[in-house]
């Protein structure tokens, strides 16, 4: 038996569920870098020597998680941008100044997160690209869709040019990057396993994690912005407003994007396991397949959740993610706080294999699911979301449920 989610509240519920799924999916990718010096190898485009367990877990994460859930959050950001602007405009509010203030607050929050806890912060990136996204609000939906497609085509075409460099030059570059990554990884392990203080960790992170990451993060901007435009397109065309009407579209996305994405992910496994050897270009091929498959699998995951949501059994299975998605920013930042305390503060950095880290992830996710359900049964917003809204709108009123004076945009 199917349920027809056509009301505005049902649409928002579905988006919150998707957001909850995405923020937990991202955690499985981040934990590898939060718990070990793997960040330095990934940033250098090389892989460290590792145990068979870590090798297998890394392959599974790269096939089904890496580059798959940030696109979903980017898509939802673009969708949320349209809803936010539309609602504010209906209320007669000057939408551009309001959204700009919202993004500047998000940028400040992201920078604090980046500097104090996690060098892989994505909030500041969304804030910067959100300011660019404002240029598309008055544009036609098809215009945003075309821009998104061409950005991705151009991006992956330029990415593929890496295969044209001479093999000996690529080998020399890779060797230099591996040596540098190994040295920084060793220094990182020594730093976080020592009984140092936070000030020492902060200086080390700033020099070896934060600033190098900022220097390279623009590489991810095209994919993120393209997915924002796709989300904006879905919002402006009303796809989520009547899922029953567009069920055929989601079935086509599930079938087509699933087939392409899983094939590309399978290609990653073929290269990683050396069933096909690309020599010095193996890691370039792997990176291309990870992020190209990520675009298709992100739409596959979205369509799977949407089609599940149309059925009663699917709603029951997805319900726990609803409240987690309503306070997704709180959960995202909470993952960083907990993980920094465990791996740096308690000295477990670099001491667990990836399988143990995955079990840790599951425990944190279960904890956050339970906390989200408890919190949202009592309050209107997550704690971080409430502060963000209050600073954006001012005079928000009480955040407790069942109290008057609530302004909901």
- What local confidence, expressed as pLDDT, does residue 11 receive? 67
* 86-104: pLDDT as tens digits: 999 988 889 999 999 999 9
Banded pLDDT at 371 (limits 50, 70, 90): very high
**Residue 407, pLDDT above cutoff 70:** no
- What local confidence, expressed as pLDDT, does residue 375 receive? 97
Mean pLDDT, range 246-259, rounded to an integer:
96
**Residue 322, pLDDT above cutoff 50:** yes
Mean pLDDT check: name the lowest of 157-166, 241-250, 346-355: 241-250
Token pair 């297998």 is found at 56
* 29-71: pLDDT as tens digits: 999 999 999 999 999 888 898 999 999 999 999 999 999 999 9
Please choose, from the candidates 12, 17, 237, 29, the residue with its C-alpha nearest in 3D space to the C-alpha of residue 144.
237
**Residue 405, pLDDT above cutoff 50:** no
- The number of C-alpha atoms within 13 Å of 123 and in the hemisphere containing its C-beta is 28
According to DSSP, the residues that pair with 2 across neighbouring strands are 311
Please state, in angstroms and rounded to a whole number, the distance separating the CA atoms of residues 358 and 364: 10
Mean pLDDT check: name the lowest of 190-199, 220-229, 338-347: 190-199
Banded pLDDT at 395 (limits 50, 70, 90): low
Banded pLDDT at 311 (limits 50, 70, 90): confident
Mean pLDDT, range 143-166, rounded to an integer:
95
* 343-354: pLDDT as tens digits: 999 989 999 999
Percent above pLDDT 90 for the chain: 79
Please state, in angstroms and rounded to a whole number, the distance separating the CA atoms of residues 227 and 232: 9
According to DSSP, the residues that pair with 311 across neighbouring strands are 2
Please state, in angstroms and rounded to a whole number, the distance separating the CA atoms of residues 408 and 402: 14
Could you tell me the two tokens for 231? 């989300």
**Residue 386, pLDDT above cutoff 90:** yes
Indicate the SS3 state at residue 126: helix
- What local confidence, expressed as pLDDT, does residue 393 receive? 86
Residue 341, number of CB atoms within 10 A of its CB: 12
């Amino acid at each position: 038996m199917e349920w027809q989610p056509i009301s505005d509240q049902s649409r928002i519920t579905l988006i919150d569920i998707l957001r909850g799924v995405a923020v937990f999916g991202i955690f499985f990718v981040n934990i590898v870098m939060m718990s070990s010096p793997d960040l330095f190898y990934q940033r250098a485009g090389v892989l460290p020597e590792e145990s068979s367990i870590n090798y297998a877990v890394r392959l599974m994460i790269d096939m089904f998680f890496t580059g798959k859930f940030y696109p979903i959050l980017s898509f939802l950001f673009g969708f949320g941008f349209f809803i936010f602007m539309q609602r504010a405009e209906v209320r007669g509010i000057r939408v551009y100044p309001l959204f700009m203030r919202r993004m500047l607050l998000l940028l400040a929050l992201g920078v604090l997160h980046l500097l104090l806890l996690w060098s892989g912060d994505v909030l500041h990136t969304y804030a910067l690209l959100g300011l660019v996204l404002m240029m598309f609000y008055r544009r036609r939906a098809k215009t945003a869709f075309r821009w998104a497609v061409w950005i991705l085509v151009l991006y992956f075409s330029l990415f593929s040019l890496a295969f044209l460099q001479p093999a000996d030059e690529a080998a020399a570059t890779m060797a230099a990057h591996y040596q540098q990554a190994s040295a920084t990884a060793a220094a990182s392990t020594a730093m976080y396993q020592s009984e140092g203080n936070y000030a020492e960790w902060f200086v080390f992170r700033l020099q070896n994690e934060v600033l190098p990451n900022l220097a390279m993060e623009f590489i991810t901007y095209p994919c993120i912005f393209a997915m924002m435009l796709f989300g904006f397109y879905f919002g402006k065309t009303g796809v989520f407003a009547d899922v029953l009407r567009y069920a055929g579209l989601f079935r086509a996305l599930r079938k087509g994007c699933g087939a392409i994405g899983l094939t590309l992910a399978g290609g990653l496994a073929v290269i990683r396991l050396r069933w096909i050897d690309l020599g010095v270009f193996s890691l370039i091929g792997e990176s291309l397949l990870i992020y190209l498959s990520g675009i298709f699998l992100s739409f596959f995951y979205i369509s799977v959740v949407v089609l599940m949501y149309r059925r009663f059994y699917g709603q029951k299975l997805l319900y726990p993610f609803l409240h987690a998605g309503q306070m997704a920013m709180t959960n995202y930042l909470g993952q960083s706080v907990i993980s920094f305390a465990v791996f740096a503060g308690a000295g477990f950095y670099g001491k667990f294999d990836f399988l143990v880290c995955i079990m840790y992830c599951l425990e944190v996710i279960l904890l956050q699911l339970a906390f989200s359900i408890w919190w949202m049964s009592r309050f209107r917003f997550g704690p971080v979301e409430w502060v963000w809204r209050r600073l954006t709108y001012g005079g928000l009123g009480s955040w407790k449920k069942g109290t008057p004076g609530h302004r909901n945009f």
